[in-house]
Structure 1
Amino acid sequence: MHFDKSPKEKPCSTLPTVKKLLEQKRRRETSSVPPSCSTASTPSAPPTTTATLSLAESFTCSGASSSYSDMAVSSWQMPQESTHSYYPSHPGPSFAAAYSLPMTTEYATQQQLQGFIDTMPYEGPMSVADPSMASSWSVLGPGQAEQLSFGSAIDIARLEEARMLLNGMDYSRATGQDEDGDTILHIYTAKGLRECAYAAAERLRDIGRLDAKEHKGKTALLVAVTANQPEIVQDLLSFGSDINAYDVKGQTALHLAAHYGLPGVLQAILSSRPSVNLEARNYDGMTPLHCAAISHNATMKAFPSIGLADVGLQTMADEKLSCVQMLLQSGASLLSQEIKSNKTVLHLAVKEGNIDLVTYLLRIPLPNIKDFINLKAHGHTALHMAAGLHGNPHQEEILQLLLQRGADPSIRNLENDQPAHLLQIGPEGDKLKLMLKKRSASSRRRIVSLQDQE
């Protein structure tokens, strides 16, 4: 819809839209962006709403002074300490340190062990694995202050200013949508203006339009996720935003947070359990866990093969691995297979030679670990995929890890090939083939021994 214009106002097309705001930030990004989680094999450009502008940045608009941008920013100067940095870096304490497992130590605390055993085989609603992550937030009224779990209390004085700003605004502008479907809440959320977004959310909630969607199907909540705004995500959820809303690609808030590796946002979403659907499928048949695995794969592939380690990439990889762990600890099913190719997260990790993710997944204490490892994706087990990692420096290590956890080298794919038949030709392939044959022979001896005992 179009807003009514006063004679002095310029057309709404001159006002900044969510799409424009996020594109401006994306052009400023110098680091690589992972491929979309909508496909496991073909990289594609990220969604339009994938990055946002910092709170401290100045926004100008060619529109009238009553435009969204001018009205939001001219009222006050946002404090420097509230500035957020966006993907790929994240402010505040390291979530990766809290959630990712050291690759050099055994995966084991009693709480983690029990949580995985209880929740991994199932795909229904899950109980909270970590009670400390669960919290509830009440809606703030005038004069109230509340300390949020992300370490920042909303500024009541600024919130009152924002409410007055909204009250003095033309009704159609404060509650309507422009030609791109953006509400004023979408705009404030994309800019990271928390108090303005809070006041706008109050207004839209009261008229039942809190989950209005822009032209790409994103609600304000989905914009807050892609903007890496955990506090605004938390605020919107406290107002009752639909946590399972999805965009034109079927991506929910969990899909987007997992894809971009945003642990703070992911925690805010997961804290709203059990209403969040951990097994929601996007239109490519993937769950948020698949998206998190694909995103981690992309970051690991970006590491240089030689030379000094990239600290920024390592931080990004750690945070994305922490997202995988957070989803699993919250009850996401390790056994879920993507619809198009039937791959599990293990298939996805092995196929890309992602040794860190493979190592992590194989440490999870599943009671049916052999069944999980030998699941087929269009006829191929994870061992078949590892055998096809010709030239990958981690091929032998991945094969050994799979064999140690119960991978069966005698299983054949749809072409009647065993993993050994897919190995490379040459000395390296011969060495790996011998390893597979020894394990296959050892497995046959164990089976015969067990039969004799019976």
Structure 2
Amino acid sequence: MHFDKSPKEKPCCTLPTVKKLLEQKRRRETSSVPPCCPAASTSPVPPATLTQLPPPEPFPCTGATSSYSDMAVSYEQWPQAPEPTFNYYSNHPGTSLAGAYSHTMTPEYNTQQQVHGYGDLSQSYCLEATTDSSWPLLGPAQTTQLTFGSTIDVTKLEEARMLLSRMDYSRTTCQDEDGDTILHIYTAKGLRECAYAAAERLRDIGRLDAKEHKGKTALLVAVTANQAEIVQDLLSLGADINACDVNGQTALHLASHYGFPGVLRAILSSRPAVNLEARNFEGMTPLHCATISHSVTMKALSTVGHADVNLQTKAIEKLSCVQMLLDAGASLLSQEIKSNKTVLHLAVKEGNIDLVRYLLSIPLPNMKDFVNMKAHGHTALHMAAGLHGNLHQEEILQLLLSRGADPSIRNLENDQPAHLLQSGMQGEQLKLMLKKRSASSRRRIVSLQDQE
């Protein structure tokens, strides 16, 4: 922030920009972030090898024809209150991820980092009590109930309100050259009481949804920083839940992309205001973002093995985000605009057996139509046939066939799935399986016609 200090303020309250907070965090991460997955193409045949890629960008969520490798799969660990873990596998004995899952979560913005000139504001707000506050003072050790059942320490909130009352009015309401308000800063640092007080002031002048240089409102910063309580507070104060950044990503897109179940739960609590089918500028819904992000983590996990507890935890959290979106009413039939892929196409294309199992376990009255939907001519079965060398190719083919996938459907090149299988002994065995299923389907159709 670049405002003149009031004589009443202490030097420790000088605020850095959100951009600087993020740059400092990313410098520490670039040496430790593992390489991610290669890009997914629109062809049903997957790349043969993994490619070493550069560290991820801050908030990507791109379409199926561009690289998904910049989706984060590992962050510096940051302690926080535990959330209940989603365990799909405990209710489905036939499905499992190897290894035990522990619950950890790491945000894009590290609220524990020390910034020069900012002080340890997570412990102290660096203020002096005064009696000229414009807000009424409450007794010590009090708490108040806010929206979504969360509580806030009223004593700290009153201290934060006094801190803002002692600042220049312009400092608490204006934006710096990067577009950051004081609310953006407090939100990025995870200072809930200060953020709440700043949000009250900006709300009163109609600037609660002010955007910084990347188009992020304070709500979007709170989502990206994995600050579920601040997300709740901002929504309760009237923040626009469907506001989007320069990439068209709403709070729901970002929470789904990063795999933050607590934040996602807070956003979904605002239904029906939240738009579950909102499209980012890549034409993807939040469910598409969650699916792609889970596949990226699963591919990284298969590369490093199941000894990486952080990746295991991230995978289960991202799968829980997929389930929460579907439980909230997100459509399985939505197709992303660039390549017309559904979430099933996206999961099969990446050989994500766990997600394929889950999606095909959902009871749908039109499951056969869903399984045979086309993405630029390719069904999910075509894409599974192109998973040459994938350990789960045969199982994915069997799952699709068991749910009504039609091996006789042809793509735009007039190829059936059997034509896209690999050469060699394994390819011949899979081709025989597809031909048997195709013949069986034809016999059933003839039998039904005879009965009529």
**Shorter-chain TM-score tier:** 0.7 to 0.9
Q: Retained in 2: the 8 A contact 1:100–1:318?
A: no
Match of 1:20 in 2: 20
Give the secondary structure class of the aligned counterpart of 1:417.
coil
Match of 2:423 in 1: 425
CA distance in 1, matches of 2:370, 2:305: 36
Cα drift, residue 46 of structure 1: 5.4
Superposition pairs of residues 126-141 of structure 1, within 5 angstroms: none
Q: Retained in 2: the 8 A contact 1:146–1:154?
A: yes
Q: 1:86 to 1:242 in 2, by over 3 A?
A: farther
Whether 1:96 aligns to 2:94 is no
Give the secondary structure class of the aligned counterpart of 1:385.
helix
- Structure 2 unaligned residues grouped into runs of 5+: 37-55, 96-134
For 2:386, the aligned partner's letter is G
Cα drift, residue 219 of structure 1: 0.1
Match of 1:361 in 2: 359
Match of 2:279 in 1: 281
Match of 1:42 in 2: 66
CA distance in 1, matches of 2:327, 2:380: 23
CA distance in 1, matches of 2:381, 2:75: 38
Superposition pairs of residues 428-443 of structure 1, within 5 angstroms: 428-443=426-441
For 1:92, the aligned partner's letter is A
Give the alignment partner of residue 451 of structure 1, picking from 441, 449, 452. Answer: 449
Deviation digits for residues 18-47 of structure 1, max 9, x if unmatched? 111122223334444976322224336759
For 1:248, the aligned partner's letter is V
Match of 1:225 in 2: 223
Deviation digits for residues 289-340 of structure 1, max 9, x if unmatched? 0000000000001014475532111110000000000000000000000011
For 1:365, the aligned partner's letter is P
Cα drift, residue 16 of structure 1: 1.3
For 1:26, the aligned partner's letter is R
Q: 1:101 to 1:411 in 2, by over 3 A?
A: farther
Cα drift, residue 199 of structure 1: 0.4
CA distance in 2, matches of 1:262, 1:366: 27
Q: 1:370 to 1:101 in 2, by over 3 A?
A: farther
Q: 1:98 to 1:387 in 2, by over 3 A?
A: closer
Q: Retained in 1: the 8 A contact 2:68–2:296?
A: no
Give the secondary structure class of the aligned counterpart of 1:146.
strand
Match of 2:333 in 1: 335
Give the secondary structure class of the aligned counterpart of 1:248.
coil
Give the secondary structure class of the aligned counterpart of 1:243.
coil
Whether 1:311 aligns to 2:309 is yes
For 1:280, the aligned partner's letter is A
Whether 1:184 aligns to 2:182 is yes
Match of 2:324 in 1: 326
Give the alignment partner of residue 215 of structure 1, picking from 209, 213, 218. Answer: 213
Q: 1:2 to 1:306 in 2, by over 3 A?
A: closer
Match of 1:55 in 2: none
Superposition pairs of residues 152-171 of structure 1, within 5 angstroms: 153-171=151-169
Cα drift, residue 96 of structure 1: 3.1
For 1:193, the aligned partner's letter is L
Give the secondary structure class of the aligned counterpart of 1:341.
coil
Cα drift, residue 450 of structure 1: 0.1
Deviation digits for residues 88-129 of structure 1, max 9, x if unmatched? 7673334433677655359xxxxxxxxxxxxxxxxxxxxxxx
Q: 1:300 to 1:150 in 2, by over 3 A?
A: farther
- TM-score (ref. length: structure 1): 0.78
Q: 1:264 to 1:191 in 2, by over 3 A?
A: same
CA distance in 2, matches of 1:171, 1:103: 57
* Of 198-207 and 35-44, the range deviating more from structure 2: 35-44
- TM-score (ref. length: structure 2): 0.79
Give the alignment partner of residue 381 of structure 1, picking from 379, 384, 394. Answer: 379
CA distance in 2, matches of 1:87, 1:344: 32
Q: 1:147 to 1:181 in 2, by over 3 A?
A: same
Deviation digits for residues 213-239 of structure 1, max 9, x if unmatched? 001100000000000000000000000
Give the secondary structure class of the aligned counterpart of 1:154.
strand
Q: Retained in 2: the 8 A contact 1:185–1:201?
A: yes
Cα drift, residue 155 of structure 1: 1.3
CA distance in 2, matches of 1:99, 1:430: 35
Q: 1:94 to 1:239 in 2, by over 3 A?
A: closer
Q: 1:349 to 1:308 in 2, by over 3 A?
A: closer
Q: Retained in 2: the 8 A contact 1:233–1:269?
A: yes
CA distance in 2, matches of 1:96, 1:408: 37
CA distance in 2, matches of 1:178, 1:33: 35
Q: Retained in 2: the 8 A contact 1:95–1:319?
A: no
Compute the RMSD of aligned alpha carbons: 2.9
Q: 1:148 to 1:4 in 2, by over 3 A?
A: closer
Equivalent residue pairs, number: 383
Q: 1:44 to 1:15 in 2, by over 3 A?
A: farther
Q: 1:26 to 1:160 in 2, by over 3 A?
A: same
Match of 1:133 in 2: none
Q: 1:391 to 1:262 in 2, by over 3 A?
A: same
* Of 18-27 and 225-234, the range deviating more from structure 2: 18-27
